[in-house]
Structures are given as C-alpha cells and as structure tokens.
Structure 1
Amino acid sequence: MICTGLIGSMSVFYVEFMYAFPESKTKVALVPSLANGIYDIGGVVAGLMIDTIGCRWSMFIGSFLTCIPILCSFMCNELVGFIILLGIISAFGSSIVMLIGMVRVGQTFGTEHQFGSIFITGAHPSGFIVFPQIMPYIINAYGWRGALFILSGITLQILPFGFLATSTIGERTAIAPAEGGEGGGGDEGGGEEGGENQRNKSCLKKCPLDVELLASPKFQFFAISSAINWGSTYMVHLLIVDFAVARDYDLVDGASLLTCVGVAALVSRVFTTFLRKIKCKNIIWYVFFSIAAGVVHACIPLAPSYNALVAQILGIGCLFGCRFSFFILTLLEMVPVRKYSQALGYCLSLWGIAVSSTGSIVGALNKVQNGYDFSYATGGLAGAVCLIPLAVYLYRSRGRFDLNFPSTSQSEIEIRS
C-alpha cells in the first residue's frame, strides 16, 4: 500500500512541479510516467532477485531503494534529479517490494485459495485511496519539499513491515513450490520436492532467466496484449489530476479523482469473489473487463460536470480492479508455481514499458491538441482493440488457453487437477 501510494502521489507532485520548474509538460510528465513505468518494469529484475537471494534480502534492498532517493530529492533543485531519483530509483525499489508481496501470496495460496491472491491486489487501490488524499494537505502545510521529506519517512516503514511479513520464511524460499507443507515451504522440504528445489537453484545459477517461459508464443501473446491494454488506459492514474486542474477544478478535487479510482478498485475485489462463483474461466473475465475498461476510458472527455466525471472514474476504477484481479488469477492458472515470480515480473515489466512511454506521448499530444481529450479517447479505444484478437482466439478455442510446459512437475499437475 505504501509503495503504490508513493506512485499515486507522483500525479499530485506533477502539478506542483509544473509550477516550480519552467519546463514543458512533456518533460515534467516524465516524473509520474517513469515512476509508474519503472514500478512495473522492475518486475523482471525483482523476480530474479527473489529467486536468487530470497524475500528478506530483496525486501531489505527494496525498502532502502524506495526511501533514500525520496530523501535526497528533498534537497534537489533540478528536474533531471527528480526524474532520476523519483521516476527511476525510488520506483524500482517499490517494484521490488510490490513483487515480493504478490509472489509470496501467490506461491503460498496458489490456485487452491484464490481469495488470498485477490486480497493482496487490494493493496494497490488502497495506496491510491490514502496518499492522493493526504498529500495535497501536507503540500499546503509544508510545501512540496516538506511533503517529500515526510513521504521519505513514511516509505521507510516498509522495512519493519517487510521483515515482519517474511519473519517465518527461510532464505531463498521464493523458488520453492508452496503448494505442499503447512508453513508455506522453504528449503526444508524433503524427498522429491526438496530435490526439485535444489535443481531449480542450480538452474538459476547457470541461467537466471526462464527461457522456457519466454519462448512460449501463447504466453508472449497474453503478456504483450495485456501490456498494450494497461499502458493505453493508464492515463487515469498518470494525468487525471492535471486533467481536472485543466478543467478549472482545484488540486484537492483532482486528487480526489485518484482516490475514487482506488475506492472503486478496492470494492471491486469483493465483487470479484462473487464473479468467481459463476462458471466462467478467469481469462474470459479478464478479457471482458479489459475491453470494458478501454471503452469507458475513451468516454472520460464526454463528462459534462465534475459529478459526472466522478461517476465515470468510479466505474473505470471498478473495471480496473476486476481486470487486475482476474489477470493475477489467470496467470496463476497459466504457469507453474515455480515460474510465477518470473512470469509476473515479465508481464509487469512490459506494462511498465508501455506506461513509461504514455506520459511523454500524451504530453506531446497535449501541446498539439491543447488538452487531454484526444489522448483519453484514442488511448481507451487502443486498449479495447488490442484485446480483440485474444477474445477471438478464446471464442474459437472455447475458452481454452493452456500453456503446456514439458517440465511441469507431477505434483503441480495433481494440484491443478
């Protein structure tokens, strides 16, 4: 929640940076755009760290990479410094922490207890609920530099929370399949499972990247289409505050729109648990909510008033929440548990690449179009259209989208059955 709250706060600081630095919107937009992008792009490196040095050491590194750059930015006077410190380094540290939480819950509960995986995805909208609401008031009281100083102290709390969350986990446990045993696994597992863990560690030393996963055409098809959809519709998180300010609403009203996204996305987690009771595959739900999110995103410029805009943002927040929940559930079903950390990290990295380019592109279009209406409309339509090939494939294959990995262990096959 703290990490995603940090990323959500960048949209609030974006407005302040516009007044503080005589730079173009394209350049200033690099701060929130890169922050949101690197938050996802770091997934590949974070996945390798978790598989190599374990959750606890990864959490230690991630927490300091998140906190220290924010503290340094308190003394920074150049926009380039904020781009590097906030947009790249701090966001990468947050990426490590975020992926640790997702991977640990996914590997511990897997497909048997999917509510755990749905529940932790609620941390993302929770951060968007809390931080965009409190940051404008902190900025008004202490200035944006004082707000950065306070934010650095808040993010440092990741360290004790992270150590508490991993206190019962042995080192390098993230590479151990967690479907067996009572305590979530670790290197203590014996027999055939323990031998497989040792083989996994040996393979990680020789080739840290999972070549078998990256060579799967279906997985690449799924990952790339989801990245285009995510990047095209991410302007709601990146620039909705400035969109509101451009329509003559104040900073608090703009930040409240971000909170609305978080509230709706959090509530949608409960909605997702009810949808799972309907006999429909997770990937079909994912495609449905992804296309719907793109359509609603394209209609945002049509809002005639602030109340209508709030209603649209609540709707798209709910769609976003369902989309992300079913994305996680789909990925858990698609790949073996031992490949989950790298599969999730790879997908998030593609999302980050898409999001990183969104801010600058929209900033350039804003200069030409003198507004965000065109960008929101085309982004939403692109996000909806990119999922149509996957929807057609699912229709023709009657909802089947299986990834067959020859090295899938018999224990995982039995668990999935």
Structure 2
Amino acid sequence: MKDEKRLFPKRRFKGFVGEWKEIDLGSIGSTFSGLSGKTKNDFGHGTAEFVTYMNVFNNTISNINLTEKVVRDDKQTQLEYGDILFTTSSETPNEVGMSSVWLDKRPNVYLNSFCFGFRPTIKFDYYYIGYMLRANSYRKQMEILAQGISRYNISKAKVLETVVLLPSVQEQQKIGEFFKLLDERITNQERKITKLNALKSAYLTEMFPQEDETVPKRRFKGFEDEWANELLSNISDVRDGTHDSPKYYSEGYPFITSKNVSDGYINYEDIQYISEEDFNQINKRSKVDTNDILMGMIGTVGNIALIREEPYFAIKNVALIKDTKQVNQLYLYYFFQSNFLKKQLIDGMDGGTQKFISLYKIRNLTILIPNKNEQQKIGQFFKNLDDQITTEEAKLEKLKQMKVAFLEEMFV
C-alpha cells in the first residue's frame, strides 16, 4: 500500500496541530506579465520604476530600494502590495521560477520583462508565503516543470498548477516571523563582516607606508624610527614552481597553480593530481614548508597564501617566498596585502589577456621594514583581526545552515 502524503511539517510551534490545506496556486489568484513593448530608450530615466530580475532572484522579500528607472506607461501592470514575483528562466532547472514578495505601496512600479507576477485573491501571511515558496518542498515542483536544454524556462500556466500548503493564518504568522527574524540575524551578521573587512582595508592603508613614504600614518605607541628599504630577494629566498606540465591523474599528489591560491589559503576545490615521481622531482627545487608564502604569478597575480600547517603538494606558476627568519613572516604576509606592494605588482605585470609577473620582478619588489618588535606588533594585530573575521564568518555560515535546515523541517 502506498504511503499517504503527510500534510503537516516535521517541526512546528507549540500549540499547533492538524493538517495543512493543499491548494493549487491557480485557485487563489491570477498571473500578470512584466514590462512589454519597451525599447532601450525607455530605460534609465522617467518617472516610473521597475523591479529587476536579480532583485526577484536574490530576495525572498523584494528589496524595495533595488529598482531602476523607466518611462511611465499606464498600459503596464503596476505592482501592488503582496504581489508575488517569479523569474521565468535560468541556466539550470533548480533556479527556475525563483520567487519574491513585493511589500510596498508606492505607485508606478512595474516588473521587468523576464519575470511575471502572481496576485493572490486570499489573505495570508506574506512572509510565510515568501519563505514557503523558497522551501525545498516547493522548489522541487518548479524543477520538475522547468523546460529547456541550454536554458530552462517555466510558463505562467505551469506555475498556476503548483501546489502550496497553508496552515492557519496564526501558524503562518508564527512561521513567517520566525524566518523574518532569522534573515535579519543573517543580514546583521553579513554587515558585521563587511564592517570588519572595511576596517582591515583601512588599517592596511594606514599602518603601512604609502608610495614615496618611509613611515606609516598610524603606528603603535613607542615606535618612531623610519622603516628600512630592502629588495625582497635580500630578505627572503624567492623561487617558483616547475615550468613543466606533468601528467595529471584522478588521484595522487595535489598540484597547486595560481588559481588555487586565494584569500590567504590554498583552495583544493578545483585541483589536479600528479604522480609521486613528478611530485618528488618538483620539490627538489621548490619544496614548500610551513610559514612560507605563496603568490600567484599568472592570471590571478598577487593572490597570496600563508602556509599554516605542513604542506603536501607541489607548485607551478606560483612564487614561493621562503621563511628565512630575516623578517617576521607574519608581517611580510600582511605587507603583501598593502597598497604599497600591490601597486608594484600592478606596475610589474606583463601580458595581454592573461597577465603575469616574472620571478625577476618579484625578487626585486621593494619591501619596507620596521624593527623586529614593530614587525611582530603589526603582524599579530592583523592576525587577530583576521581571526575575528574568520570567527564571524563561521557564525554566518552556521546561521545559513540553520536556515536551510528549518526550511526543510518547518514546511511540508
């Protein structure tokens, strides 16, 4: 005997029982089209606005400030408070028919031509319906209905055939408010991270000298001496990886190139593997050790990584800046993020479509060096700031994972 479909969620607020109502979307409203009959001359000015495709795609509740100008046209359908907006196409079926709820009452706001709207005829909690339409249970319906090969589309008629499940208005309000507050926490966490990154950027500007300067704008108390001027090759052993192209395998020893060096770390997501023989041969001249710095030389020039634990890979198209103990390596790592150093890299790049920088130019980069105590202070300051950013990013990821889990458990 086939199992009957369960019409209530796995997780509910206390006091709510009973099944939810299963309703075809077409029975509780009608659709309308986005902008039509417009030319490029109608956009970018005028007294009317339209909601962009990306606004609909990215936001459960439309961002009322993310609109663009268009010439007013009374023949177009104006958006009303509570309208549900759907995207019509995407490159993948799992992103077709993304929805967003419009909660604003100002006049002369239209919908872009690559979306369509749904205007409900019944009352429900708008936040509940917004999150319900983005829950996995509803999104699966959209994926099944998506049509196409290189690009996937969904029609208004097909969307009207989809099924929504509605609890009582009181339960809708509880669920809607819960996800609204969770999204606000996520947004606040994102803002905190943005502020920390902006703070780091400001400190990188102020705590390292600018071009033609020998002292920075901001210093720790007690330090007044001018900074020394040295070539990188005089304070570090600077090498590069292999210039050959070894044979790749589905498994073996990781082979790091410039694309794998980003944001201070090695990215292993898109990586090639080489044989033990090639690995040993490359590492005879370019072995990477803990505390070394790697920098991209081709394509993603200037991306860096500090090796924090024992490495187990070989390198190509990557500059290897060995830790020789002549300079505090943590200080040097952050100096490579300064505007002073970045300008030298930009000025030293060669190539057309794909930029690169030679090992010779890297070895001749100018490094400004304070005394050892100031180096240690600066390096530790930025490490603490980076650690704080990492902690806040982990909190953000946890909130996002929590949201995914609740979307799965609190909707049918």
Scaled to the shorter chain, the TM-score interval is under 0.3
Q: Which has the higher helix share?
A: 1
> TM-score if structure 2 supplies the norm length?
0.22
- More RCO (CA 8 Å, sep 6+): 1
Q: Which has the higher strand share?
A: 2
> TM-score if structure 1 supplies the norm length?
0.21
> Which structure has the greater CA radius of gyration?
2
